[in-house]
Amino acid sequence: MSFSINRRRFIQSTSAIAAGAMACNVGRAVAQSSGELKVALNGGDYGNACIQVYVKPFEAETGIKVTPITDGVTPAALELMVSTNTVSVDVIPVDPDTDARVPETGYLEKIDYSLYKKDELDAILDFTRSPYSVGSIVYAYCMVYSTERFPADKPRPASWSEFWDVSKYPGVRTLCAEVPPLEEALLADGVPADAIYPMNIDRAFASLDKIKPHIRKWWRSGSEIEQLMQDKVVDLAQSFDGGANALIDNGAPLEINWNQAKLTWESWAIPKGSPNVRNAQRFIEFITRADRQAAFAQIMPYGPANRNAYKHLPEALQRKLASHPDHVASSIATNPKWYAEVGSDGLANAERIRQRWNEWILQ
Amino acid sequence: MKMFQALGRMPIVLTAPALAVLLVVFGIPIILLFLTSLSAPAFSLANYEAFFGQPAKIRVLLQTVEISVVATAICLFIGYPTAYLIVAASKYLRMALIVLVIVPYLSSGLVQTYAWTVIIGDRGMINNLLLDHGIISSPLPLIYNRMAVYIGMVHIMLPMIILPLVSVMMGIDKSLMAAARSMGARPFAAFWRVFFPLSMPGVRSGSLLVFVICLGFYITPAALGGLGDAMLSTIMASQVQTYFDTGRVAAEAFVLLAVAIIVLSMLGLDLSVTQGRTAQRAGKSWVSWLPSSGGQKRYRSELIAPLRAKRWTAQLYRAAGDGCWSNVVGAMLLMVVMFYLLFPGLLVVVMSFSAGKFLTFPPLGLSLQWYRSFFGNPSWYAAAWTSIQIGAMVAILSTMVGTLAAYGLSRTFPRLRRILTMVILTPICFPVIVVGIATYLGLVKLGLLGSMTGVILAHTIGAIGYVVVIVSGTLANFDRRLEQAAKSLRASPWKAFMRVTLPLIRPGIVGGAVFAFLHSFDELVITSLVAGFSVRTLPLKMWEDIRHHTDPTIAAVSVLLMVLPVFCLIVLHVVGWRSGPSSQRALSDHRT
């Protein structure tokens, strides 16, 4: 392994034991001064794309110095930062569930929608907009099948009831275990898309009972399902659209069935107590504009939450994205508000489902 | 001088530095978390009732203990003979074997797990081989079951049991077995009644470490197991990702800690228990074998002749089973274990040269693109350098305070020792996310959040546990009379420690330091919380985008990490481990 052995940095870090407390205070003081911003952008290629199309143009336009962090922020980290008053980052990506709990937790600042132009704001898909966060990308849990196993001249599974129909569509199957596929189970059982919420949990689990013996692997992360499809272990999968698209672009014999896809999204938000709220508001407004979102989608094929972005995208790319109007029309959007609702027993629906799921997986 | 004498009388004081670090960084916040789990200041058992009100949680808890116990037993079953054979090998072979045992531990767990799917997966090597030869018509379900979980977990944990065993076994005076043999004991009896009891401290500390770490596993069971093979941390991880509630999570952590304490006290938590007692037991056992004390003297006098002792030592291993048979069996066993340990890593090496955009095996073409992506990107090698710096500081700090603590613990009453050992082990027993939360709260108070020092302290609290366990194992066999002898010859306690004790327990200290470094080098969950987005370590960099996609750069990084210890450990061995057994032998000569 080769690395730059920088003597000065080594000494700095070793003497940090003595100077640690001081260094930290200095760091905070700097962060509080104006014209600064620290943003968490997710990791890997995603974060690098954000730096390229969001951070650099924003710095050029506003002169604000942005420190990008290529990492996500877990709900646990958010809670710790806010509750101990040690918020060290101004803009973070959040999932819809975290956003939906803010009325209860108070972890996020309110978004200043007065900064937004009307046509931009109207174009942002309504379900991705909340008082506390603005949608960035829309992605989907969708059905993906192998075109080798299901060639064009043979019947292909087109709905979750057909996914559940193992005799008519034989093949090795996989479903997601991290986010229980309850919506899919209800659709498979014949519940109409607009009647999924409020959810009949018993019915969903009864439907899951039917498919359980036929699932070869329950996956837990995007990289896992990507590998399962890449290695041709499964013929029929529930997968993120992003992973499937990346494999298809790489020549994998796969196709996405957009019918009855489950849409979810990621949003930008400001942790409560951020040192640079004003700049953070400006940053989020800037990066949710149609032209920025289009530039992002061209590097990372994820559906922009701002529909106006489609005006800047080539047709072939548009068809791959979860927020394409045709896909939105045939999909269902998850309902984080319903998941966050607290029942008479003091349990939120999300918790109730989690407990039921934990029991179900052990059966 | 006086201070050292005082320390000699009050050995427990030596645990003070370790306990101070633990208390400040971790102890006070964990007490606060305990209060949170009790819903203070209202105080109710609601969070615990919520836990025990869910039959699924209790079943997962039992399953977690079951998986950990079984995995530990398998590790011991494979690790003990392996360690024995490693210790028996010639000096250079031994060094090479120890390095090879540690190598797989360093490559990214994620890539290793993927390597296992390449081997035992439905489209993996074994199934493809059998399918191609028409032996089977559809893939065997080798993966996504409990068996695969054990294969993966034991693979990761095996170094963790072999190393403490090796460091204890290296401290066992081989001439004792030679003596037993020379006095007519059969090879197995000599092993069973002399060597095995003396190696018990290694068994105990190794199994303890493995068991405690297994309790917190979640990536391997989730990736290689079936839906039902969940462990408590698997469930907690998804809980933390979706619906986070500190009180609930803390309550679960304390339940797990309680279970760990119960299981450990059944297994025997007292790491130093053999000190004195076993020596006596072992002594008695072979005294009773002797025909007469005259004979004992005669044989003992022969032990003085180093040449003869050496020949016996050599003989011993040849004769351990039945002459050349045992050699063959031993060599084969070693080869099988090494193959098991190293083969997945070998696949990672091959995959790291892949030309494709994904991790694939066999690779579609050869290229150096992932190495270029590592060396071409400052954020990768800067992260690696940060991790090395932090790891080195953690190793130094925790080895110093951990060794002192182990030394102090070995000199105190068993009851106090048991309690303090448990306290020191808490940071490795607890689910890592809860350690992360506690450490965060502790570092906030110290104003060290997001600083290098903060991360070092956060890693040190766990690393101390490794050092204490491994050093305690070595200390258990250490004959205190040697130190007393030195003192009777007017050595000061400090001098006696430095000149007598330290050289004898050096294998344990080196082993502890290695694991302290590795613990820090590998740490992800705690770091991600306390690094405050300012300190970027290699695991953080490796895991930052795992949610969406596996960047094959981590295969290249894994290979570099596997090459690194070959350099590091060779250096360490040359400096540290080498003098262990030879000085032991020299001293044992003096003793007689």
Q: Which residue has the higher pLDDT, A214 or B584?
A: A214
B172 Cβ contact list (under 8 Å, min separation 6): B195, B198, B199, B477
A contacts of B566 (beta carbons < 8 Å): none
- Provide, as residue numbers in chain A, all residues whose Cβ is less than 8 Å from the Cβ of B60: 358, 362
Asked whether residue B51 is assigned to any structural domain, the reply reads no
Q: Which of B41, B400, B425 is nearest to B212 (CA)?
A: B425
Cross-chain residue pair A13–B452, CB shorter than 8 Å: yes
Determine contact: B243 vs chain A, CB below 8 A: yes
pLDDT mean over B280-297:
41
For residue B45, give Cα distances in angstroms to B49, B52, B53, B434.
6, 10, 12, 19
B441 vs A84, A215, A362: nearest CB: A84
Verify whether the Cβ–Cβ distance B238 to A178 is below 8 Å: yes
The CA-CA-CA angle for residues B351, B352, B354, to 5°, reads 65
pLDDT in tens, A11-48: 333 333 333 333 344 334 344 445 789 999 988 889 99
- Tens digits of residue pLDDT in B166-190: 988 988 888 888 788 777 777 788 8
Q: B544–A42: do the CB atoms touch at under 8 Å?
A: yes
Query: How far does the CA of residue A118 sit from the closest CA of chain B (Å)?
Result: 33
Rounded to 10 deg, the angle between the B55-88 and B146-170 helix axes is: 40
Sign of CA dihedral B4, B8, B14, B16: negative
Q: How far is it, in rounded angstroms, from Cα B397 to Cα B399?
A: 6
Please judge whether A20 and B222 are an interchain contact, meaning their C-beta atoms are less than 8 angstroms apart: no
Q: CB-CB: which of B123, B223, B230 is closest to A361?
A: B230
Reported confidence tier of residue B571, pLDDT bands at 50, 70, 90: low
Q: Contacts of residue B559 in chain A, CB cutoff 8 Å?
A: none
The fold adopted by the segment(s) A7-137+267-321 is D-Maltodextrin-Binding Protein; domain 2 (3.40.190)
DSSP letter (8 states) at residue A153: T
Q: Which of A80, A212, A358 sits opposite B54 (nearest CB)?
A: A358
- B114 vs A: CB within 8 A: yes
- Lowest-confidence pick of B283-287, B347-351, B482-486, B545-549: B283-287
Is there a contact between B55 and A3 if contact means CB atoms under 8 Å apart?
A: no
- The answer to whether residue B369 is domain-embedded is no
Least confident of A157-161, A215-219, B133-137: B133-137
Asked if B548's CB is within 8 angstroms of A1's CB, the reply is no
A-B CB pairs within 8 A amount to 206
Q: What is the mean pLDDT of chain A?
A: 89
Statement: A139-265+326-362 belongs to CATH 1.10.1060.10: no
Across the range B376-384, mean pLDDT stands at 88
Of A318-332, B222-236, B381-395, the least confident: B222-236
Which positions in chain A touch B396 (Cβ < 8 Å)? none
Determine the pLDDT at residue A214: 96
Chain B's closest residue to A224, CA to CA, is: B223
Structural domain total, chain B: 1
- Inter-residue contact A260 to A193 (CB < 8 Å): yes
Q: Do B121 and A233 touch (CB under 8 A)?
A: yes
**Is-cis flag, bond preceding B362, omega within 30?**
yes
Nearest beta carbon to residue A358 from set B60, B440, B540:
B60
Q: Is residue B376 part of a domain?
A: no
Compare all CA atoms of chain B with the CA of A239 and give the residue at the minimum distance: B548
Chain A interface disruption, residue of B142, B218, B244, B562, most A CBs within 10 A: B244
Position B18: which residue type? A
Q: How far does A38 lie from chain B, in Å, by closest CA?
A: 9
Instruction: Report the distance separating Cα A316 and Cα A233, nearest Å.
Output: 28
More confident site: A195 or B413: A195
Q: Smallest Cβ distance to B549: which of A101, A178, A222?
A: A222
| Phi-psi sector, A87: left (phi>0), alpha (psi -120 to 50), beta | beta
Chain B CB contacts of A51 under 8 Å are none
Sign of CA dihedral B461, B462, B465, B471: negative
Q: Which residue of A has its CA nearest to B122?
A: A233
- What is the per-residue pLDDT for B286? 36
CA distance A233 to A227: 9
Give the max Cα distance, chain A: 72
Q: How far apart are CA B238 and CA B433, in angstroms?
A: 11
Residue B565 lies in a domain: yes
Interface membership of B375 toward A (CB under 8 Å): yes
Q: Domain containing B75 — which CATH number?
A: 1.10.3720.10
Q: Which domain holds residue B428?
A: 13-28+65-363+381-544+553-591
Rounded-to-integer distance, Cα A32 and Cα A55, Å: 19
Residues of A in contact with B546 (CB under 8 A): 43, 221-223
A231 vs B contacts (CB less than 8 Å): 117, 121, 123, 360
Rounded CA gap, B179 and B200, in Å? 20
**Measured CA distances, A221 to A227, A260, A299, B273, B443 (Å):** 10, 21, 22, 45, 31
CB distance B549–A223 less than 8 Å? yes
Query: Minimum mean pLDDT among B180-189, B205-214, B462-471, B544-553: which range?
Result: B544-553
Burial class of residue B280 (count of CB atoms within 10 Å of its CB; 0-12, 13-18, 19+)? exposed
Give chain A positions within 8 Å (CB) of B54.
355, 358-359
The yes-or-no verdict on residue B266 having pLDDT over 90 is no
With a pLDDT cut of 90, the percent of chain B lying above it is: 25
Q: Is the pLDDT of residue A291 over 50?
A: yes
Interface test with A, best of B547, B557, B569 (most A CBs within 10 A): B547
Q: Pick the more confident residue, B361 or B449.
A: B449
Residues of A in contact with B239 (CB under 8 A): 354
Q: Provide the b/e sequence for B386-406 (b: ≥16 CB within 10 Å).
A: bbbbbbbbbbbbbbbbbbbbb
Beta strands in A147-284 (DSSP E): 173-176, 215-219, 236-240, 254-269
B63 vs A contacts (CB less than 8 Å): 362
In this predicted model, what pLDDT tens digit does every residue of A211-258 receive, in sequence order? Answer: 999 999 999 888 889 989 999 999 999 999 999 999 999 999 999 999
Q: Which residues make up the CATH 3.40.190.10 domain(s) of chain A?
A: 7-137+267-321, 139-265+326-362
* Confidence band for B358, pLDDT divided at 50, 70 and 90: confident
- For A223, nearest residue in chain B (alpha carbons): B549
pLDDT at B335: 95
Pair B442, B28: CB distance under 8 Å = yes
**All residues at 6 or more sequence positions from A89 whose CB lies less than 8 Å from its CB, including other chains:** A38, A39, A40, A69, A73, A81, A271, A274, B533
Q: Confirm or reject contact between B389 and chain A (CB < 8 A).
A: yes
A345: which chain B residues are within 8 Å (Cβ-Cβ)? none
Q: What residues contact B429, with CB distance under 8 A and at least 6 apart?
A: B212, B215, B256, B257, B260, B261
Tell me the C-alpha distance between B7 and B17, whole Å.
13
